[in-house]
Structure 1
Amino acid sequence: MTQETQAPAPPRRPVRQLLAASVGNAVEWYDWYAYTFLATYIAAQVFPESADDSLVPLLSTFAVFAVGFFMRPVGGLLMGAVADRHGRRAALTTTILLMGGSSLLVGLTPSYASAGLAAPVVLVTARLLQGLSVGGEFAASTTFLVESAGPGRRGLFSSFQYVSTTLGQLAASGLAAVLVSTLGDGPMGEWGWRVPFLLGAVLSLVGFWIRRGAEETLRMPEHPAAPRPGLFDALRHHPRASLLICGITAGGTLAYYTWTSYLPTYAELSGVDKGDTLFASTLALAFFAALQPLGGLLSDRFGRKPPLLFFGLGFTLLAVALLRAVDSLTSLLLVACAGMVLLTGFTSVSAAVNAEIFPARVRAAGIGFPYSLTVALFGGTAPYLGTLFRELDRPGLFAWYVSALCLLSSLVYLRLPETAHRDLDR
């Protein structure tokens, strides 16, 4: 051990560490998905079609674009740098405060009728902050989860990244459904859509309190003047690892967003009742969350490459057949659950694999930027491309696109070194 650094002792309270990452991550994604589920009500208040100002529809388009395709990679880079320079706990508390503040801002956004152009400006600002927070959350919580795990448990701990993400999504959709059925369209459109965001701000404070009590997992410099990693050190000194993150993530994020976000719309366009699609997707998401710890445990025992190849080759061979089979509630439920089983091979281990590729000094930023950029390019565009292919009367091409990208990621998995049983650099 040099005089410059001091290695942290293994966390004495691994359950508290797991709770700190998981609860905060669930709250982050609850806030994020609440906007998705309530977007129509928000748009009617903030982006009305009758608005005289031509900037209103432009701002509406900008909000979606900026958050989905710009702020998440920026958040991954900036918050990853915070985690590498000042510690994982500092980044985790920052991201959840950002999300809580932006959720409060959404909940308090004035209507266009009362504030004019200021209303969409406030909402765009809130969504930009949410994008920054979500982009940084994966980098910080991934490194924190994996570094908090005991020997032989990194896969198990990393699997809770998607457990908590899915629980946040289910909580947001459940609350939105209860409010809509209880209040009706009138009160819901006037004020009911604000409730989930105000609640999200309160939940963020709870997550902040839990995270403040977590133990730091980063080896911090002993001397205050010791050099800290620069913003682009990971990209500059570890370009191969950065490209590996992109290759590992591309097929996985496309399959994930296809099965969790686009599949209900795809089924509805294929003739399945809208209520049935929501029912099937909710059951499939709950099933998916339950599978994650099992996938993580198996990867701790047998390695990271087998589940990754199970996912990649499975979607390469079956994506086209699975999507073609969707034509009823029963087939949708079977296809959704089959996809979730395959997808678990990626989601349950990706956080561990990403963290094991980079040295601790630049781990968070090294993961955050290439991961978020790949998600923006391939995951965030999945629903739009699926809809575009259908509008071009070539819906089957989208399934082949999923299959092809998963094949490319499978080739990356074949070349990956096995890292499950190596000591983690700290």
Structure 2
Amino acid sequence: MNLAAHAVPGDAPVVAAPTTDRQKIKAIMAASSGNLVEWYDFYAYAFTSIYFASAFFPSSSPTGQLLATAGIFAVGFFMRPLGGWIFGRLADKRGRKASMLVSVLLMCAGSLLIGILPTYETIGVLAPVLLLVARLAQGLSVGGEYGTAATYMSEVAGPGRRGFLSSFQYVTLIGGQLLAVLVVFALQHILPVEEMRAWGWRIPFLLGAVAAIVALFLRSSLEETASDETMQSKEAGSLRALLQHKRALLITLAFTMGGSLYFYTMTTYMQKFLVNTVKLDLKSVSTVMTLALIAFMLLQPLFGILSDRIGRRNNMILFSGLAMVGAVPLLSTLSVVDNVYAAFALVLVGLVIATFYTSISGVVKAELFPVEVRALGVGLPYAIANALFGGTAEYVALSFKNYGNESLFFWYVAAMAAVAFAASLWMPDTRKYGYLDGNGRLSG
């Protein structure tokens, strides 16, 4: 089965792309700076919601308050498909650089709004409504950021090192998450819990808004990777052209279903899981997650190098296979541990499994699409599946727990990993049939 509407040797040309190692590293760092800020701002919500939930959602049940904040967290994800389409089309028709500049500005606005937002006690129901608006803006921004950044970094990286250089997308994604954890961790040791709940939770959002300005400056120096000829093509950023690559779309959807659900389970939801189910105190949980995320971040380039040697398809088979058979026993064991050391070890095992996927998350999808629809092809199906499965992970898990069936969530994670496993077996070897390094024909 041929996925390309028109097969050509290799990919369409790019222009002005960095060619020397120094230029490539500089470009990766500039692109990554915005990615770090985007994800820091997005995760700041997840890690501070346990403090501000009562400020926006008055309720007698702490679990009910967390469900409400998790619901808004999930709703933010449902803006991602729109963001993936808008920014993917912008990146394919007007350039990767323009798309990345707009996305970081939008994230800055959303973060600033949350940081200065009055509480329910002050303005009533308008408070959660405005919180929702801010999250929608952030969701739109992140929906566009992923596909464009993945496309840009994959195009900047050269043959033989795409896995290694592209892995820095998740280095900075995890770095943003880690930075959010570190900021919260520091605030927990500086401010009493009462002050954290009263106003301390606002600090991470205000810091994120300032950091976005720095990222905007760094991204302004980026070189464009798509040619004028490509951007002016009638197929550039076209949904109609994208739909000609149905198999690539289905593989991207399946990878994201399993990969995002597993990733968000082991990262953003894990903080609440360790507090509500494992019954660890907040400071211990912050320590566990901080150390685990540092290790997780440092592993990304190593697993990216591994993919350059064994191929992206084999990386995905290893991730999805291990997640499929390991999710239930791993989470079940973690739910009954009674000390922080065992909790840390089990979380780290789960994150090591995730690294087979996260290190190549962007490039494995970028290789499936031709340049004229690459940003749209990477961003839109990712955003759709991420909204349905990654963004809802926390809400679904808390819902199962609220109804006394938490273990069913573990099986749900394993089932979605099985979908990714099937897609991994169906995926061709992109070293031979990919649009970046192969012959431009995805067959089989």
TM-score of the superposed pair, with normalisation by structure 2: 0.85
Relative to structure 1, is the Cα distance of residues 385 and 196 closer, same or farther in structure 2, using a 3 angstrom cutoff? closer
Residue 93 (structure 1) aligns with? 101
Alpha-carbon separation, structure 1, partners of 2:275 and 2:46: 18
Residue 54 (structure 1) aligns with? none
Match runs of 1:83-122 below 5 Å: 83-122=91-130
> Does the 8 A contact of 2:52 with 2:201 survive in 1?
yes
SS at match of 1:249: helix
Match runs of 1:227-246 below 5 Å: 227=234, 229-246=236-253
> Does the 8 A contact of 2:237 with 2:372 survive in 1?
no
Alpha-carbon separation, structure 1, partners of 2:129 and 2:211: 25
Match runs of 1:27-426 below 5 Å: 27-48=37-58, 63-68=72-77, 70-221=78-229, 227=234, 229-274=236-281, 275-326=283-334, 327-328=337-338, 329-420=340-431, 422=434, 424=436
Alpha-carbon separation, structure 1, partners of 2:377 and 2:42: 23
Alpha-carbon separation, structure 2, partners of 1:39 and 1:205: 24
Matching residue's letter, 1:373: I
Relative to structure 1, is the Cα distance of residues 401 and 361 closer, same or farther in structure 2, using a 3 angstrom cutoff? same
- Structure 1 range deviating more: 328-337 or 340-349: 328-337
Matching residue's letter, 2:369: F
SS at match of 1:76: helix
Alpha-carbon separation, structure 1, partners of 2:201 and 2:415: 40
> Does the 8 A contact of 1:234 with 1:366 survive in 2?
no
- Structure 1 range deviating more: 89-98 or 106-115: 106-115
Relative to structure 1, is the Cα distance of residues 23 and 305 closer, same or farther in structure 2, using a 3 angstrom cutoff? same
> Does the 8 A contact of 1:325 with 1:331 survive in 2?
no
Relative to structure 1, is the Cα distance of residues 151 and 10 closer, same or farther in structure 2, using a 3 angstrom cutoff? farther
- The unaligned stretches of length 5 or more in structure 1 are 51-56
Matching residue's letter, 2:75: A
> Does the 8 A contact of 2:368 with 2:435 survive in 1?
no
Matching residue's letter, 1:248: F
Matching residue's letter, 2:207: L
> Does the 8 A contact of 2:107 with 2:141 survive in 1?
yes
CA deviations over 1:120-175 (Å, ceiling 9, x no partner): 44332221111100111101100011001022111112211211111111111211
TM-score of the superposed pair, with normalisation by structure 1: 0.89
> Does the 8 A contact of 2:74 with 2:395 survive in 1?
no
Measured after TM superposition, the shift of residue 285 of structure 1 is: 1.1
Alpha-carbon separation, structure 1, partners of 2:86 and 2:427: 27
> Does the 8 A contact of 1:234 with 1:242 survive in 2?
no
Q: Give structure 1 regions of 4+ aligned residues with deviation exceeding 6 angstroms.
A: 57-62
Measured after TM superposition, the shift of residue 324 of structure 1 is: 2.5
- Structure 1 range deviating more: 41-50 or 396-405: 41-50
1:26 aligned to 2:44?
no
Matching residue's letter, 1:177: F
RMSD: 2.8
Matching residue's letter, 2:27: Q
Measured after TM superposition, the shift of residue 413 of structure 1 is: 0.5
Measured after TM superposition, the shift of residue 90 of structure 1 is: 0.5
SS at match of 1:325: helix
> Does the 8 A contact of 1:71 with 1:131 survive in 2?
yes
Measured after TM superposition, the shift of residue 385 of structure 1 is: 2.8
> Does the 8 A contact of 2:230 with 2:372 survive in 1?
no
Alpha-carbon separation, structure 2, partners of 1:411 and 1:324: 24
- Structure 1 range deviating more: 94-103 or 238-247: 238-247
Alpha-carbon separation, structure 2, partners of 1:412 and 1:62: 29
Relative to structure 1, is the Cα distance of residues 396 and 41 closer, same or farther in structure 2, using a 3 angstrom cutoff? closer
Alpha-carbon separation, structure 2, partners of 1:19 and 1:362: 24
SS at match of 1:191: helix
Alpha-carbon separation, structure 1, partners of 2:90 and 2:428: 28
Relative to structure 1, is the Cα distance of residues 223 and 36 closer, same or farther in structure 2, using a 3 angstrom cutoff? closer
Residue 53 (structure 1) aligns with? none
- The unaligned stretches of length 5 or more in structure 2 are 1-7, 61-65
